[in-house]
Amino acid sequence: MRAYLKLTKASIGIFVLVTGLAGYAVSRSVSEPLNYFDIIIFLTGLYLVSSGSFVLNQAQEWRLDEKMQRTSLRPVPVGEISPWQAYLIGILFCISGLFALYLLEPIAAGLALFTVVLYNGIYTLYCKKKWAFGAVPGAIPGAMPVVIGYSVNSSTLLAPDCIYLFLVMFLWQMPHFWALAVRYKEDYIRGGLPVLPTKIGVKRTLYHVGLYTFAYAGVGMAAPVFINTHIFYVLIIVPLALKVVWEFFRYFRSENSNSWLPFFLWVNLSMLAFICVPALDKWFFHLMISTLIS
């Protein structure tokens, strides 16, 4: 079971499902009753596609993983599962997940297929290995689960609320990944990956982290421009956006090697809030109005 959880990156998978469900909830009309069977099909399909993509990634990069201390204990490098077994599992998971999503909504299946091709193809095979800013195009597939969830109930993917959800997920990934890259700089040197800290140094990397952090927090603060917000926006998103910016300045000024962790944790927590609060605002406000009317 432990090998399976590592192979499918279960902890990341939870983020994928939560953000996908948030996208689903934001695009769902409050006037329509929830179809719990559809939700189960959606979550199952999204889980299988995302897990399959992660498994394929480990099959693709097992030689790289064994060079890096942080990834050397993954199931393929340690021999718990062969690369070809991982390829087989990944392909079967992806096909099964795409089929489930197609039964629910073909657009969602098409977006999921696009995500797998972009992540396991363009990003893994080229951008990650050739470009110090590879995290930027790599953030596109990372931001797609929330769009896939949104597409189940709406084909209008350029709607302001969908754009907001995508921007939050997209911009969040640069502070998230580059903070990790700074922390594990030596690991990336051993792996030969051209991440920002190994190419331009830690201090200059932090300027880029700051740039994306400000943009990310700014989008969160600007949520009312994109989406209907109510009390939870004021109580949760605004304080968290300010907290993330504050933690970045602490991280930027600190000489402590562990100062990255509070910033990293607050960025991740705020992402979940920025994504989930619009759904909570929408459905809580609807329930509150319905209760008052009745």
Residue 21 is predicted with a pLDDT of 97
CB atoms within 10 A of CB 270: 25
Structure tokens at 187: 């690991």
pLDDT at 256: 74
Quick one: pLDDT at residue 294? 55
**Closest residue by Cα to residue 225 from 271, 278, 179, 286:** 278
pLDDT at 291: 56
pLDDT of residue 267: 97
On whether the CB atoms of residues 112 and 98 are closer than 8 A, the answer is: yes
pLDDT at site 292: 54
Domains of the chain, first to last = 1-157 (1.10.357.140), 159-294 (1.20.120)
The pTM for the full model equals 0.93
* pLDDT for the residue 229: 80
* pLDDT under 70: residue ranges of the chain: 257, 285-294
pLDDT at 282: 80
Nearest to 24 by CA among 121, 106, 95, 108: 108
Q: Match 């910033």 to its residue by tokens.
A: 263
Percentage of the chain modeled with pLDDT above 90: 79
Q: What single-letter DSSP state applies at residue 67?
A: T
| Cβ(218)–Cβ(274) below 8 Å | no
